[in-house]
């Protein structure tokens, strides 16, 4: 099972229809399972995966 490495939380935004009633909605993170060099699988966001790939 992949370990969740990211500490980020989902964004919360308001959805407003024509009547302008504000309703909260969660915008989830784009989590992907990435295998590290040592074979360990971790769940990171795509932005973090790109950063790790560039650093390697």
Three-state SS for 17-53 is CCCCCCEEEEECCCEEEEECCCCCEEEEEHHHHHHHH
Output the pTM of the full model: 0.71
Long-range pairs, 32-41, Cβ under 8 A, ≥24: 33/2, 40/3, 41/1, 41/2, 41/3
Number of domains in the chain: 1
pLDDT at residue 13, rounded to an integer: 97
Residue with tokens 């040592």: 38
Position 21 confidence tier, pLDDT thresholds 50, 70, 90? very high
For the stretch 5-19, pLDDT in tens is: 888 899 999 999 999
User: What is the domain range of residue 27?
Assistant: 3-55
């Amino acid at each position: 099972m992949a370990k969740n490495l990211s500490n980020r939380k989902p964004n919360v935004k308001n959805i407003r229809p024509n009547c302008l009633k504000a309703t909260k909605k969660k915008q989830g993170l784009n989590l992907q399972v990435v295998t590290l060099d040592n074979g360990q699988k971790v769940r990171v966001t795509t932005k973090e995966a790109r950063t790790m790939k560039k650093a390697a």
